[in-house]
Amino acid sequence: MSTTTIRIPDELKARLSRIAEQEGTSTHGLILEAIAEKADAMERRQAFHDEARDRHEHYLVTGESIPWEEMRDYLRRRVRGEDVQPPVARRHGK
């Protein structure tokens, strides 16, 4: 484990100390948990953007997509608990 020094405004430090005490943990533990949660969220967001970019590139190459009306119907039926096959992407006329 390595050490990193950060400067925290007094007001934030007091808030963190108060929260840590209420949660039964240390300020250090609370800060580490917050940093880990933020890193996880940022990694998920980046993965989401990467997947969107890959899917868009695939669409540009193949021209295949699922019409919104079909996807919306599929999702509504799934929410109702119906056992339904997902729609299949295909080329559409322009």
Q: Would the pTM of this model clear 0.75, i.e. be above it? A: no
- 64 DSSP assignment: E
How far apart are alpha carbons 60 and 56 in whole angstroms? Answer: 6
pLDDT at 93: 67
| Rounded CA separation 82/76 (Å) | 9
- Kindly state the helix (H) or strand (E) to which residue 24 belongs, with its residue range: none
The pLDDT of residue 63 is: 94
Q: What is the pLDDT of residue 92?
A: 77
Q: Using one digit for the tens of pLDDT, what is the confidence trace for 10-67?
A: 999 999 999 999 999 999 999 999 999 999 999 999 999 999 999 999 999 999 999 9
Could you tell me if 34 and 19 are in contact, meaning their C-beta atoms sit under 8 angstroms apart?
A: no
19 touches 26 (CB < 8 A): no
User: Residue 83: what pLDDT?
Assistant: 96
Residue, of 55 and 93, whose pLDDT is higher: 55
| Buried-state track 5-34, b at ≥16 Cβ within 10 A, e below 16 | eeeeeeeeeeebeeebeeeeeebeebeeee
Tell me what pLDDT residue 8 has: 95
